[in-house]
Amino acid sequence: MYINRRKMLNEKIAYLKNGYSTYAESPDVINAIKKEIQALNLDVFEEVTDLGSWFIPVKVES
């Protein structure tokens, strides 16, 4: 089964932009998410586990 990594990356970044957490377990997907987060200047907390990383958007209190 073929998985389009670009499509997966775009979906995960869309989750983050909309204020939802996302998870990745593949090192290349994790690195790509980090690069996109930095390029888009998103405020995201990364929680690293033994199996992968959770990316959690930081909510700004109004």
Q: pTM for this structure?
A: 0.88
Per-residue model confidence (pLDDT) at position 18:
94
Radius of gyration of the chain (CA): 12
CA angle in degrees (0–180, nearest 5) for 32-36-39: 140
Q: What is the mean pLDDT of residues 34-39?
A: 97
Per-residue model confidence (pLDDT) at position 62:
63
Domain boundaries defined on the chain: 5-57
Q: What is the mean pLDDT of residues 7-22?
A: 95
Q: Given a cut of 90, is residue 30 above it in pLDDT?
A: yes
